[in-house]
C-alpha cells in the first residue's frame, strides 16, 4: 500500500524577484511549488494566495511532481528546497524529451498527410 501525501493546490500571483511591478498569475500551483517559488523569489513574492483544491499523491506521483519542478526550476533548487536527491532525474528527463520528440514527429507527419490530401490531383491527359 502506498502512503499518500496530501498537498494543497493554489491560485496566486508571483512577484518575480520580489518586484511588485512584475507579477505573474499562476493557477493550479501545488504547495511544494509555492514553497519553491518563495525560495527563488523571496518569502513575500507570493501574493493573492487562494486555496482551490486538495490532492492526495502517492509516492510515485510526488516523485513525478518533484521531477516536473526540477525540469522547470532546476534540479539543484528542488533538491536543496526539499532536502531530496533526484537520482533518476537525468533518465526521467531523457524519456520526457524522447516523448516530446516522438509527439512532434507524429504532428509533423499528420500535418504532411493533411497537406497532401488537400492538394489537387493532376488532371488525366
For residue 24, being part of any structural domain is answered with yes
**Structure-block grid coordinates of residue 48:** 493573492
Domain that holds residue 78: 4-87
For residue 103, being part of any structural domain is answered with no
For residue 64, being part of any structural domain is answered with yes
The number of beta carbons lying within 10 Å of the beta carbon of residue 69 is 22
Number of domains in the chain: 1
CB 47 within 8 A of CB 35: no
pLDDT digits (tens, 9 = 90+) for 13-71: 999 988 889 999 999 999 999 999 999 999 999 999 999 999 999 999 999 999 999 99
pLDDT(111) > 60:
yes
Q: What is the pLDDT of residue 11?
A: 97
pLDDT(103) > 90:
no
Q: What is the distance between the alpha carbons of residues 43 and 41, in angstroms, rounded to a whole number? A: 7
For residue 36, being part of any structural domain is answered with yes
Q: What is the 3-state secondary structure (H, E, C) of the chain?
A: CCCEEEEEEEEEEEEHHHCCCCEEEEEEEEHHHHHHHHHHHCCCCEEEEEEEEEEEEEHHHHHHHHHHHHHHHCHHHHHHHHCCCCCCHHHHHHHHHHHHHHHHHHHHHHHHHHHHHHCCCCCCC
Q: What is the distance between the alpha carbons of residues 88 and 106, in angstroms, rounded to a whole number? A: 27
Q: What is the pLDDT of residue 124?
A: 60
For residue 72, being part of any structural domain is answered with yes
Q: What is the distance between the alpha carbons of residues 32 and 66, in angstroms, rounded to a whole number? A: 8
CB 23 within 8 A of CB 47: yes
For residue 23, being part of any structural domain is answered with yes
For residue 106, being part of any structural domain is answered with no
For residue 124, being part of any structural domain is answered with no
Amino acid at each position: 500500500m502506498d502512503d499518500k501525501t496530501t498537498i494543497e493546490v493554489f491560485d496566486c500571483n508571483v512577484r518575480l524577484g520580489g518586484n511588485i511591478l512584475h507579477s505573474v498569475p499562476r493557477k493550479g500551483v501545488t504547495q511544494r511549488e509555492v514553497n519553491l517559488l518563495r525560495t527563488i523569489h523571496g518569502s513575500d513574492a507570493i501574493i493573492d494566495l487562494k486555496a482551490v483544491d486538495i490532492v492526495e499523491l502517492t509516492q510515485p506521483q510526488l516523485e513525478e511532481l518533484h521531477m516536473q519542478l526540477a525540469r522547470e526550476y532546476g534540479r539543484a533548487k528542488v533538491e536543496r528546497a526539499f532536502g531530496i536527491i533526484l537520482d533518476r532525474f537525468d533518465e526521467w528527463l531523457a524519456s520526457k524529451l524522447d516523448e516530446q520528440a516522438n509527439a512532434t514527429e507524429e504532428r509533423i507527419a499528420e500535418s504532411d498527410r493533411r497537406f497532401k490530401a488537400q492538394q489537387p490531383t493532376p488532371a488525366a491527359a
